[in-house]
Amino acid sequence: MLYLVPTPIGNLKDITLRALEILKEVDLILAEDTRNTSHLLNHYQITRPLSPYHQHNEHKVLQHLVSQLLEGKKMAVVTDAGTPGISDPAFLLVRECIKNGVKVECLPGATAFVPALVNSGIPSNRFVFEGFIPIKKGRQTLLKQLVTEERTMIFYESPMRLVKTLEEFATYFGPDRLCSVSRELTKMFEENKRGTLSELAAYFKEKTVKGEIVIVLAGVE
């Protein structure tokens, strides 16, 4: 059995009782960063074996993990924050487990783009999640494709690239396109800033930006 276990995106209380039960029961926890996961486990007094599982080793350890699962071991995959597989490792292992008849179960739980979308004030009935857009190769091509997108668009971005991305969005989608930027969700200094692309670019240009960023952008009308 392979469990995909969402972990808090900021506030450690945002974890389900079932997630804690699973983390206590499994034979091995696969962690994106074992140091971050140790902090969470120590907070809830959970002592289970940890093994690194991230984008730099997921291909290398894939077959070994599947072999262990086929032998009957129970494993949980966690990332530093949020749901595994959403802009974080998990897809390759899930696909291989399905191919080999290993049962996979994903628990419901925290993920950053849902609260960012819901509190944005931008239509949430239809949306497309783009995650982190390419930094260089393929970036312009993708933005050109999204110019005619009618659904609300959701992006992840780093603090150091936020202003550049908002300015670039203003060029492609128009400076008056409605947008919402959420950062530090669930944490003490949570901020949800709403406005046009030009307004948001000007606002964040004047301040030091920290934390995980979610950009919610209105579709074309």
User: Residue 98: its pLDDT value, please?
Assistant: 98
For tokens 């739980």, name the residue: 109
User: Residue 46: its pLDDT value, please?
Assistant: 98
What is the 3-state secondary structure of 61-127? HHHHHHHHHHCCCCEEEECCCECCCCCCCCHHHHHHHHHCCCCEEECCCCCCHHHHHHCCCCCCCCE
Cα separation of 147 and 8, whole Å? Answer: 33
Pick out the chain residues at pLDDT < 70. none
| Other beta carbons within 10 Å of 153 | 23
Q: Taking a C-beta distance cutoff of 8 angstroms, is the pair 179, 169 a contact?
A: yes
| Domains within the chain, CATH numbers bracketed | 2-106 (3.40.1010.10), 113-217 (3.30.950.10)
Q: Taking a C-beta distance cutoff of 8 angstroms, is the pair 45, 75 a contact?
A: no
pLDDT tens-digit map of 143-183: 999 999 999 999 999 999 999 999 999 999 999 999 999 99
